[in-house]
Amino acid sequence: MLLLTSNSGWLEDLMAMGVTLVCLAAANPGKDIFLEMSEVELELPSDRQIREVMEDEAKKAGLNLTNSQLAALQPLAGRNPMLARKVIRNEKHGLNKMPEHTQYVVIMPVIIAALFAFAVVRFVGMGTGNKGLYITGGVALVSAMALKQLGSVRGARKRLGG
């Protein structure tokens, strides 16, 4: 007799009756019925298999792609056959965009050095009893720290649709 309390309860009842179950999951959650099941990890398709999928899809789409064109498109698909088909369909419609790689210069060490310089000016002013230097160094230090915090806000960099 099946008790239909929940999906996992239903599957547990089926397993108790001797029914062979195949459950596909991207990651084993390690709870419920998955504790009672054998785990089989599927191998990722090789680059050659992905290239074959792309070649087949290109033939179906009526595209004549050279090996170099396929090699340029293959990183967009990774090791996913469904993405490989999608990449070829996008190529047919001219929608593939190669990823733009931008190199950035890291200026955080310069900012930290400037903060320390302002702190040194402040402490020199405090040590010598020069109130002008002490106040100038303190205001510069607080201003620089505020600018550093404002520069690390991520929301300003968001784009529409991204």
Q: What digits encode the pLDDT tens for the residues 121-147?
A: 888 888 888 888 888 888 888 887 787
Distance (Å, rounded) from C-alpha 92 to C-alpha 69? 12
Q: Does residue 133 sit within a domain?
A: yes
> What is the domain count for the chain?
3
Q: Are 53 and 81 in contact (CB under 8 A)?
A: yes
Q: Does residue 140 sit within a domain?
A: yes
Scanning 62-159, the segments in alpha helix (DSSP H) are 67-77, 81-93, 108-128, 131-151
Task: Give 32's DSSP letter.
Answer: G
Q: Are 81 and 50 in contact (CB under 8 A)?
A: yes
Residue 37 sits in the same domain as residue 12: yes
Amino acid 112 reads I
Q: Does residue 162 sit within a domain?
A: no
What domain range includes position 33? 1-42
Answering whether pTM is above 0.85, one says no
Q: Does residue 102 sit within a domain?
A: no
Q: What digits encode the pLDDT tens for the residues 68-82?
A: 988 888 888 888 999
Q: Does residue 99 sit within a domain?
A: no
Residue 86 sits in the same domain as residue 117: no
pLDDT value of position 162 = 42
Distance (Å, rounded) from C-alpha 123 to C-alpha 136? 11
**Share above pLDDT 70 across residues of the chain, in percent, rounded to a whole number:** 84
